[in-house]
Structure 1
Amino acid sequence: MSFHDDLLAQTSAERDALVSIPLIQAALAGGITREDYVAFLTQAYHHVRHTVPLLMACGARLPSRLEWLRTAIGEYIEEEMGHQEWVLDDIAACGADRRQAEASTPSLATELMVSYAYDTIHRGNPVGFFGMVLVLEGTSVALATRAADTLQASLGLPRNAFGYLLSHGDLDIEHVGFFKRLMDRLDDAGDRAAVVHAARRFYVLYGDIFRTLRSSGVRLAEAA
C-alpha cells in the first residue's frame, strides 16, 4: 500500500465524521440559506488568505533532504496565489458586502485552525502541514462541485457566485493527483507520522468551522 493510500485509510473515521456534519449534509441537499453560504465563504476567506504564507513558512522550515518537496511547494504557491480574491468575488456575487467580509474577524474555529497550521510548521515537523492540504483539498474535491450545483439551484444564485467551490471541486482533481505523488515520495517514518497526526487534527478543526457556522463561531456543547 502506498503512503497516500495508507494516509486515507488511517484518517477515514475523521473524514467520515466531517462529511456527516449536519450543515454539510444540508448543503449537499440544498437545505441551507444564502446567509449560511455567505458565512461559509467569509470563513473560507479567512483561512484561504493564509494558504500562501503557510506554504512559504513550510518551505522555509524543510530540511535539505526534502529539497524536492520545497520545489513542489513553489508550484503550490504559484497555483494558490490570489485565491482569497476569488472568495471575495463570490461573496459579492451573492449580493453581500465584499469589504465587510474582508474586514470581519474570523470565527474562533477558523482562527484556531489557522493557528494550529502555523504551530505545526514552527513547533513540530513542517511536513505535517500537508495534513491540512489533504483535509482541505480532499474534502473540496469530494464535495465542492456537488454542493455548488445543488446550492445554485436551491438559492437561485448566479454561477459566478460559486467560483471558489468550482475551482476546488472536480476541476482540482489534477491537484490531488499531484498531492498523491508527493505523499508517496515521503519515505521517512517521522514525516509520514506527522502528516497522519496533523490530518486527524485538521479534520476536527475544519469540521468545527461548520459545526459553529450558525452561531458566529461560538463553540457549541453538542458534537456534530
Structure 2
Amino acid sequence: MNFYDQLQDATSSQRATLFSAPIIDRALKGEVSLDQYVAFLTQAYHHVKHTVPLLMATGNRLSEDKEWLRNAVAEYIEEELGHQEWILNDIAACGADKESVRNSRPNMATELMVSYAYDSVQRINPLCFFGMVHVLEGTSISIADSAADNIRESLGLPKKAFSYLYSHGSLDQEHVEFFKMLMNKIDDPAEQAQIIYSAKVFYTLYGNIFRSLTGVPPLTLTD
C-alpha cells in the first residue's frame, strides 16, 4: 500500500469525527443561517491568511535531501497567494463588513490550530505541515461544492459569495493528486508516522473550528 493510502486509512476515525460536526450536516442540507456562513468565512480567513507564511516556514526548515519537496512548496506558495482576499470578498458579497473581519481576532479553536501549525513546523518537523494540507484539502474536496450549492440556494446569495468554497471543491482535484504524488515519495517510516500523527491532530483541531460555530464542545485527539 502506498503512503497516501496508509495516511487515509490511519486517519479515517478522525476524519469521520470531523464530518460529524453538526454545522457540516446543516451546511450540506442548506440549513445554515447567513450569520453562520459569515462566521465560517471569518474563521477561514483567520487560518487561510497563514497558509503562505506556513509554507515559507516549511520550505525554510526542510533539509537539503528534501530539495524536491522544497520545490513543491514553492509551487504551493504560488497557488495559494491571495486566497484570504477571496474570502474577504465573499464576506462582502454576503453584505458583511470585510474590513471588520480583517481586523478581528480569530476564535480560540482557530487560534489553536494556527498556533499548532507554526509550532509543529518549527519545533517538531516541517513535514507536520503536510498533515494540515491533507486535512484541509481533503475536507474541501469532499464537501465544498455541495455545501456551497445548498447554502447559496437556501440563502439566495450570489455565486460571487462562494468563490472560496467553489475554488476549493472539485475544481481543486489537481491539488489532491499533486499531494498524493508528494506523499508517495515519503518512504522513511519515522517521517510517515509524523505526518500521520499531525494529520490526526489537525483533523481534531479543524473539527473544533466547525464545532465552535454552533457552540458544540471541542473534542480531544483519540488514536
Structures share fold, TM-score greater than 0.5:
yes
- Normalised by the length of structure 1, the TM-score is 0.96
**2:184 — aligned with what?**
184
**1:21 — aligned with what?**
21
**2:96 — aligned with what?**
96
**1:154 — aligned with what?**
154
**1:220 — aligned with what?**
217
CA distance in 2, matches of 1:120, 1:183: 18
CA distance in 1, matches of 2:94, 2:126: 37
- Is the Cα–Cα contact under 8 Å of residues 61 and 126 in structure 2 kept in the other structure? yes
**1:71 — aligned with what?**
71
Q: What amino acid is aligned across from residue 121 of structure 2 in structure 1?
A: I
Q: Which runs of 5+ in 2 are unaligned?
A: none
Shift of 1:143: 0.4
Shift of 1:214: 3.2
CA distance in 2, matches of 1:86, 1:31: 23
Provide, for residues 107-149 of structure 1, a one-character-per-residue CA deviation record: whole Å limited to 9, x for no partner: 0000000000001100101101100000000000000001000
Shift of the 221–160 alpha-carbon distance from structure 1 to 2, 3 Å rule, reads: closer
Could you list the structure 1 runs, at least 4 aligned residues long, displaced by more than 6 angstroms after superposition: none
Provide, for residues 15-36 of structure 1, a one-character-per-residue CA deviation record: whole Å limited to 9, x for no partner: 0111111111011101110000
Shift of 1:222: 8.1
Shift of 1:221: 6.9
**2:80 — aligned with what?**
80
CA distance in 2, matches of 1:64, 1:177: 24
**1:107 — aligned with what?**
107
Q: What amino acid is aligned across from residue 90 of structure 1 in structure 2?
A: D
Q: Which runs of 5+ in 1 are unaligned?
A: none
What CA RMSD, in Å, does the superposition of the two structures yield over aligned residues?
Answer: 1.2
- Normalised by the length of structure 2, the TM-score is 0.96
Residues matched between the structures, number: 220
